[in-house]
């Protein structure tokens, strides 16, 4: 009978979450490299280059791929012949492993989990508790699959109970454009089909843990209806032209993974969950011989890309910026920002709005400034700040008129598209919205030369910082005229992809 010691299990969980914080799965690296090599859209190709350069930097420096180091998700298959040498429960042991991983002083990971979600929303400070799924199976080993799942992609999860005669493909193609770019494409789509509503959602999440193999599937051809569905969705989703970071391009998804389960005759539950450009997961097995060991991948597996900033980028001095200068920028234009900018996310914006509503003074003067939607990782070893990639800007849309009109912000930096209300405010006030690449957090942090908290320190990573940046790469996503690259880019590339397909069939 296999005996699994508590310490072996806990330390394996801790080591695994540290490992995936800075090592992408190599199948993901290879898929992004292939997408980069075939990409024809300049903005999307630059975004893919940043993702690959960031991935290599993280592998070399053992720092997080993304500032959103994810919520811990663990799937356990426990052999029924296994005996545990512990007095703790499974949840408690997993949580202790997560706690060790996320508070590791050599590579601290961002604590993003909030208790009392419908109330005080207090940060648990160690990213616990994890979400744990357990299955008892025949055997004498413990099979562990785990992932660190960021909020940007989780927030784009979709579920529906279709009629049995409805088209799953049509449903996905309808939902995906509505998901926007907040899930940081390119990535992998996970689908769960059948079962009950909760079963479909769990299957969609579990499907994302499988290796990327769509090109091998295309080469050999489908052997089942599920494989046919994977190929059809892969081709049709990429034909939407959404592209890397939603900028328009050839590759929106790297693979489509599907798990299914028998369902009721009257039902067709379907769940869709995307994985982002910070794909992080790992699979290992414990057999009682000790903790798991993880072999670092060779750095030679990462492509060498000479990236020193977007080609032809406009250099911008944030400390001397004027509305007249912003008016010259065009949607899709690459910029390199230098100077001082403020940060702020959901919690900070809410506090600002409450202070304004009460007529109380603000802790920061926002007039003429840029604000960056970010919650950075804590710094180590002389860093000004840890990985500091953008968060989804759409969540700040309801505050945009306040920030631009009442408080005088000139520009914003985040990721993904803005809604109609925010775009209208940007146009009305002659402001600008720029995006940094989601999935390039460590690369972005290299441009941050100094950082200090200037307001709301009690919010932790959601405090307002002042960053001093040098050549921070961004793209104009919504210009002062209200033109949006997230609308124009995919529309342009949808037409080009149709033309490429017709030429291929000619």
| Helix pair 42-61, 6-22: axis angle to 10 deg | 140
Minimal CA–CA distance to 184: which of 270, 68, 56, 73? Answer: 68
Residues 6+ apart with CB under 8 A from 276: 66, 150, 152, 153, 183, 184, 185, 187, 438, 439
Whether 330 and 479 have beta carbons less than 8 Å apart is answered as: yes
Q: Which two tokens stand for residue 448?
A: 């941050």
Residues 6+ apart with CB under 8 A from 124: 111, 113, 114, 115
CA 215 to chain centre: 23
Residue with tokens 């104009």: 476
* Element holding 242 (H helix, E strand): none
Q: Which two tokens stand for residue 149?
A: 């799942």
Q: With cut-offs at 50, 70 and 90, classify the pLDDT of residue 504.
A: confident
Residue 468: half-sphere exposure toward Cβ, Cα within 13 Å: 6
pLDDT digits (tens, 9 = 90+) for 232-264: 999 999 999 999 999 999 999 999 999 999 999
Q: What's the pTM?
A: 0.95
CA angle 32, 498, 483 (to 5 degrees): 75
pLDDT at 108 over 80: yes
How many CB atoms are closer than 10 A to CB 421?
Answer: 12
Whether 438 and 389 have beta carbons less than 8 Å apart is answered as: yes
pLDDT digits (tens, 9 = 90+) for 6-18: 999 999 999 999 9
Residue with tokens 């985040």: 414
When pLDDT is averaged across residues 174-182 and rounded to a whole number, the result is: 95
| Helix pair 225-238, 168-179: axis angle to 10 deg | 40
d(CA 476, CA 491): 17
Whether 442 and 60 have beta carbons less than 8 Å apart is answered as: no
Q: Could you give all domains of the chain from N- to C-terminal order, each with its CATH number?
A: 2-287 (no CATH), 314-489 (3.20.130.10)
When pLDDT is averaged across residues 159-166 and rounded to a whole number, the result is: 98
Minimal CA–CA distance to 433: which of 474, 468, 465? Answer: 474
Return the pLDDT at 84.
Answer: 98
* Element holding 102 (H helix, E strand): helix 90-102
Return the pLDDT at 148.
Answer: 98
Whether 402 and 429 have beta carbons less than 8 Å apart is answered as: no
68 — phi, psi (to 5°)?
Answer: -85, 95
CA 278 to chain centre: 5
CA angle 242, 246, 249 (to 5 degrees): 50
* Cis peptide bond N-terminal to 186, omega within 30: yes
d(CA 197, CA 5): 36
Residues 433-456 as b/e (b if ≥16 CB within 10 A, e otherwise) read bbbbbbbbbbbbbbbbeebeeebb
| Helix pair 90-102, 6-22: axis angle to 10 deg | 40
pLDDT at 502 over 90: no
115 — phi, psi (to 5°)?
Answer: -85, 165
pLDDT digits (tens, 9 = 90+) for 358-392: 999 999 999 999 999 999 999 999 999 999 999 99
Return the pLDDT at 500.
Answer: 83
By three-state DSSP, how is residue 121 classified? coil
d(CA 340, CA 364): 13
Average pLDDT, the chain: 96
pLDDT digits (tens, 9 = 90+) for 188-206: 999 999 999 999 999 999 9
Minimal CA–CA distance to 243: which of 393, 36, 439, 55? Answer: 36
What is the distance in angstroms between the CA of the first residue and the CA of the last residue of the chain? 64
When pLDDT is averaged across residues 282-305 and rounded to a whole number, the result is: 96
When pLDDT is averaged across residues 270-292 and rounded to a whole number, the result is: 97
CA angle 455, 459, 461 (to 5 degrees): 95
When pLDDT is averaged across residues 206-232 and rounded to a whole number, the result is: 98
80 — phi, psi (to 5°)?
Answer: -75, -10
Return the pLDDT at 506.
Answer: 56
Q: With cut-offs at 50, 70 and 90, classify the pLDDT of residue 327.
A: very high
């Amino acid at each position: 009978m296999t005996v699994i010691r508590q310490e072996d299990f806990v330390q394996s969980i801790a080591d695994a979450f540290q490992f995936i914080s800075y090592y992408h799965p190599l199948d993901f690296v290879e898929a992004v490299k292939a997408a980069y090599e075939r990409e024809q859209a300049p903005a999307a190709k630059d975004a893919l280059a940043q993702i690959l350069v960031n991935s290599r930097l993280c592998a070399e420096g053992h720092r997080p791929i993304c500032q959103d180091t994810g919520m811990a998700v663990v799937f356990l298959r426990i052999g029924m012949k296994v005996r545990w040498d512990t007095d703790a429960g499974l949840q408690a042991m997993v949580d202790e492993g997560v706690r060790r991983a996320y508070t590791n002083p050599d590579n601290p990971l961002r604590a993003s989990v909030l208790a009392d979600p419908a109330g005080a929303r207090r940060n648990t400070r160690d990213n616990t508790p994890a979400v744990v799924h357990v299955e008892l199976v025949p055997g004498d080993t413990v099979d562990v699959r785990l992932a660190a799942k960021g909020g940007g992609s989780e927030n784009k999860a979709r579920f529906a109970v279709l009629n049995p005669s409805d088209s799953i493909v049509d449903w996905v193609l309808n939902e995906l454009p509505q998901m926007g770019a907040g899930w940081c494409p390119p990535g992998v789509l996970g689908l769960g089909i059948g079962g009950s509503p909760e079963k479909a959602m769990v299957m969609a999440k579990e499907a994302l843990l499988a290796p990327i193999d769509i090109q091998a599937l295309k080469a050999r051809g489908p052997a089942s209806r599920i494989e046919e569905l994977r190929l059809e969705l892969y081709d049709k989703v990429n034909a939407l032209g959404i592209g890397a970071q939603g900028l328009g391009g050839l590759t929106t998804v790297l693979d489509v993974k599907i798990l299914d389960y028998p369902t009721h005759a009257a039902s067709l539950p379907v769940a869709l969950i995307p994985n982002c450009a910070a794909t992080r997961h790992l699979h290992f097995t414990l057999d009682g011989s000790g903790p798991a060991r993880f072999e670092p991948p060779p750095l030679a597996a990462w492509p060498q890309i000479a990236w020193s900033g977007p080609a032809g980028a406009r250099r911008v001095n944030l400390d001397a910026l004027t509305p007249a200068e912003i008016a010259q920028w065009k949607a899709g234009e690459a910029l390199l920002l230098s100077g001082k900018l403020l940060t702020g996310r959901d919690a900070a914006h809410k506090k600002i709005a409450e202070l304004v509503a009460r007529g109380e003074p603000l802790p920061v003067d926002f007039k003429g400034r840029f604000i960056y939607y970010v919650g950075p990782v804590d710094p180590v070893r002389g860093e000004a700040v840890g990985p500091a990639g953008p968060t989804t800007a759409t969540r700040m849309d309801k505050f945009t008129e306040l920030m631009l009109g009442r408080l005088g912000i000139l520009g914003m930096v985040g990721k993904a598209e803005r809604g109609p209300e925010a775009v209208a405010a940007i146009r009305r006030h002659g402001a600008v919205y720029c995006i940094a690449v989601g999935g390039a957090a460590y690369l972005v942090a290299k441009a941050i030369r100094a950082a200090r908290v200037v307001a709301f320190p009690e919010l932790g990573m959601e405090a307002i910082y002042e960053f001093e940046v040098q050549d921070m790469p961004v793209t104009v996503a919504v210009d002062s005229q209200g033109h949006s690259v997230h609308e124009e880019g995919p529309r342009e590339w949808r037409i080009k992809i149709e033309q490429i397909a017709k030429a291929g069939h000619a």
